[in-house]
Structure 1
Amino acid sequence: MSEGGTRGLELRGVTVRHGSVPALSRVSATFPAGEISCVLGENGSGKSTLVALLSGLRRHDEGELLVDGTAVRFRSPRAARAAGIATVWEDLAVAPLLSVWRNFFLGAEPTRGVWPLRRLDLDSARATTARAMARVGVPGLDPDQPASRLQAGERQSLAVARALHFGASALVVDEPTAAVTVARQTLFGQAILAARAQGLTVVVVTNNPRYAHLIGDRFLLLAGGQVAGNLTREDVDADGLTALMAGGDQLGVLTDALTELHPELGER
């Protein structure tokens, strides 16, 4: 960690352009470790670009992206993963014919013995997968069952469990834009809360303000690629956050008022 840095992710005046058009324009925000930060906004607000930036799919044109206080510039998703950032995508895919534990390890299977007698440690792989899934709120899962039998929420929970097991320090979640069931949101919400309890930086991109207020500690509202609001649970209730998502002058008025009372919000 650099001097004066904080644990977590931070954007300082970040601009990302698609050609000559800024998808993000001078965005500053802090995503602290051990908290859930929800990013909200309409389609075209810059949410997808923010996810792409944090996951290493896009590079910023201006400003700074900091991980634990150190400025970084990812050249690939592998570089982002190496820095401890795991991304759970909206269209998360699994290898359906492979077992759950095979999907969990994805080429990093535990072994025992020494070369040339080294072999796969099946018992350890199965037990580790079952413990990791229970840790994120999916107890009693059969690790030998094919991944095709997992529900959507369980597949996302599997991605979170894997990130925790392999030492991720930050989790970026690209929530589905389509309506999802309460059961799925409940299941995946447990996994996200487990990640926060383990001290991870959690960034959740969602279109559901009530769900965001239920699980989130702070809320970054984007509009037209710019920060339209930077709030905490103490600043706004669920009804207020829902109203702000509807647009209008309320968001600008609230943002100005809060920035006047708390100048540090304008510096993030």
Structure 2
Amino acid sequence: MTHYIELLVAQARVIDPNADARTGRVIESREEDAIFCYPDSASVRAGIVAASQKLEMPRIGIVGAGGTGGYILDQVAKTPVREIHLFDGDELKPHNAFRMPSAVSIETLRNRPKKVDYFHAHYSQLRRGIVPHPYYIDGSNIQTLNGFDFVFVSVDDGPSRKLICEYLSSNGIPFVDVGMGLEKDDASNSIFGLCRVTMGTPKKSDHLPARLPIVDDQADALYRSNIQVADMNAMNAILAVFKWKQYFGFYLDYDLAHNLSFSAAMLSVVREDQG
């Protein structure tokens, strides 16, 4: 088809040098049961359709739709995953708007939507299959995670992390857990710290007890800073999505590291727990 277009356009340009067969018209997806609202021309233009097809899986879960979870969704939404399930019971608040993707209007904040409902409405403009669950995962509903192909865990509570990750690991569901620790250096008035990405799979989980922060740290939460910055939320999410894509073969993975630590001060990534 491209060859015929070039032949015809060459003749047309003899008459009009500006003639072009490409109209730039945006069309809706015509495929039956299409995932995207309009065709993924980016993958076609880059010639990576075959690689992208490795990510065509039925169900991905994102537990925690805060800053990092929002950036995870932003990336996963642009892949051919059939369903993306979001779990979070929080309402969208002004401080969330400054550490998540996109821009939130003041009218939206005044309506106090659930985070998952906001993300569902926003990303449904791009694709189908965003499934909001406006509640927290706990012992009463942990079985909801059964049958997922992969789960991203983005929670800031130690006991919840322990419950979710142990359940996923014991049921052979691959997952990535994310977290960050940022502090302010008073002398320089600068921020330092790191973000962590830990993957657990059916083949390797022996490193998890040493890597996952699972203590109940809520008792002293009032006395600790909880610094989060949008770029570190995004970095944490991007590293998590990289591990997911490596696990399913979209990206090459030379050392099979199951734990990554990114230092803000050094701009370096430490890769550990190979296997």
Q: TM-score, normalised by structure 2?
A: 0.31
Structure possessing the higher relative contact order (Cα contacts under 8 Å, 6 or more residues apart): 1
Structure 1 or 2: larger strand share? 1
Larger radius of gyration: 2
